[in-house]
Amino acid sequence: MDATLEAAVWDLEPLVGGRGAEGVEEMLVEARDRAETFAQRHRGRVGELGAEGLADAMHELAAIHDLAGRAGSYAMLRFSLDTADPERGALMQRARELSAAIETRLLFLELAWNEVPDERADELLRSDGLDFCRHYLRTLRRYRPYQLSEPEERILTETEVTGASAFRRLFTEQTSALEISLPDRDVPVPLEEALSRLQDPDRHRRAQAASGLTEALRPGLRTRAFVFNTLLQDKATKDRLRSYPHWLASRNLANEASDESVEALIEAVRSRYELARRWYRLKASLLGIDRLAHFDRMAPVIEVQDEIPYGEAREIVLDCYSRFAPELGETAAAFFQNGYVDGPPRPGKRGGAFCSYTVPSAHPYVLLNYTSRPHDVLVMAHELGHGVHASLARPQGIFHFTTPLTVAETASIFGETIVLERLLERAPGPLERLDLLAGSLDGAVAAVFRQVAMNRFEDAAHNERRHSGELSIDHFNELWLETQADLLRDSVELDAAYGIWWSYIWHFVDAPGYVYAYAYGHLLALSVYRRYEEQGDGFVSSYLDLLRAGGSRPPEELGAIVGVDLSDPGFWSSGLDLIERQLEAAEAAAREAGRLE
């Protein structure tokens, strides 16, 4: 393994003041005791608070959340590094239990705030001293129609630990423990490594990886289907109790997105599914085959086995960030200097990549599974985009630190695009440009079109579970193949074995309704990048202002900082047009390289 990569490991101790696992217990117990004191002081009196009293209460609440968040982040991140370790799993479970106890003690405040009459609430929100929590308090009022009584909310919070949360943990442990047998490996490989084989230049090796993954998914399929069925019904029950009108309503509310805007997004993307098909037909031609198999979709179009060492990838990304804005480069560099990136894949380590914001008093952490593929450079740029967004938003405090999911992908996709554009400029010829554009199109199709197709699978699964009861494995498989075929039509061949591939996708289990936010965020980021193309260096300051704002404003106001109008019905088409522009550039590069007539 690359020594630079091997040395890229997290130092989680700053989260708990160097006290390790014992610090998690101590900090959460302290937070629980402070929450109890807070409840004794304010329960039954929230409606009587003036602006100053409300600000004091919210500052104390922020301190409690920050303390608990540090400890909870440590437990979760430590578990992510080795999900097969029982001790780490037990610590995370203990953290969840104590966090639930803290939440139950603090529930009253949100409930009581929403019982304050509108006129009085508006008066308070106009007062000075509430900048650090004003948008948060205003957003809470949107949940008033779906709010239960305090005893009911306490029961749901406390039973979450042994209910839905436990099933999600089971799913994570199962998928993290998957071992895929490959003919050229003496020992089975983890899921992430097998998925990376789908980008292998050799079609036979891709087919072997797909076959091995299918066989690895079969033994635990019944359990994962049971977990999914249970969580589908759990959500249906909670939605019914809260009177949400449909399964996606709570996610839209959390995203501060109207049902109408989400429906418009989905329909705009579905109406241009042909862009994805057109790309896959071009890819089939470039690969010299009549039609792609499902395992060919991420295949490289040029047989160049280019490996980019971890250290080189780091320098490329940091250089791109720094040239755009020195502040951005410095912020990104801090991740590599102080143990905030964990790079190498390991047995038991959670697959994929993510950025954990942690809490404002601590630094964010980035997890990668770096396998030296060129695509991994863009993944690094993507997660560091999240990281710099989190870092720059830290002064906003706990209530305005994070953004809705619909805005959360802006900095990540933007950072990815900066790196892509730099690589395109440096490309020596049309074949190299084609390779880069192909990677970008693969990413755009996966993030926009495939995510909307997955949303359609989720939509069918949630609605049929509510109307028809528990779904069989075969029915899940059918829904998956139907919604994938709606996207792919004649451009990709789907076989029956691919029908079970829904069963490793964690989003369906951990975050119902999440996936459409990838499409929303990707198209938003492309629109933001288009503004950068139009304005040049004059755009940089407003972009940094957007990142610093965190989640302190509604998405429409955040977009307005950089001149993007989220209320414009043509907004989605603008982003999709940029994807089509990349597709046209890929077609032109293919013709120039003599790979397409």
Per-residue model confidence as pLDDT tens digits over 505-522: 989 999 999 999 889 888
Task: Specify the residue for token string 């160049």.
Answer: 304
Task: Specify the residue for token string 């997660």.
Answer: 383
pLDDT confidence of 304, banded at 50, 70, 90? low
CA atoms within 13 A on the CB side of 569: 3
Full DSSP string of 361-424: TS--EEE----S-HHHHHHHHHHHHHHHHHHHHGGG-TTTSS--HHHHTHHHHHHHHHHHHHHH
> For the chain, how many residues are written?
597
Residues 6 or more apart whose CB falls under 8 angstroms from that of 151 comprise none
pTM assigned to the model:
0.80
Higher pLDDT, 258 or 561: 561
Give percent helix, percent strand, percent coil of the chain, each to the nearest 5: 70, 0, 25
- Among 255-259, 292-296, 496-500, name the one with the lowest average pLDDT: 255-259
Say if residue 374's pLDDT is above 80: no
Report the alpha-carbon distance of residue 393 to residue 387 in Å, rounded. Answer: 10
Residues 6 or more apart whose CB falls under 8 angstroms from that of 238 comprise 156
Burial class (CB in 10 A: 0-12, 13-18, 19+), 321: buried
Contacts by 279-283, CB closer than 8 A, 24 or more apart: 279/441, 279/445, 279/583, 279/586, 280/445, 280/488, 280/491, 280/492, 281/491, 282/583, 282/586, 282/587, 282/590, 282/596, 283/438
- Mean pLDDT over 338-345 rounds to 94
Task: Specify the residue for token string 């967004």.
Answer: 389
- Among 369-373, 475-479, 492-496, name the one with the lowest average pLDDT: 369-373
The architecture that CATH gives domain 3-162 is Up-down Bundle (1.20)
The pLDDT, as a whole number, for residue 4 is 86
Cα distances from 572 to residues 263, 450, 470, in angstroms, run: 11, 16, 36
> Do 417 and 436 touch, CB atoms closer than 8 A?
no
* Residues 54, 56, 58, 61, CA torsion sign: negative
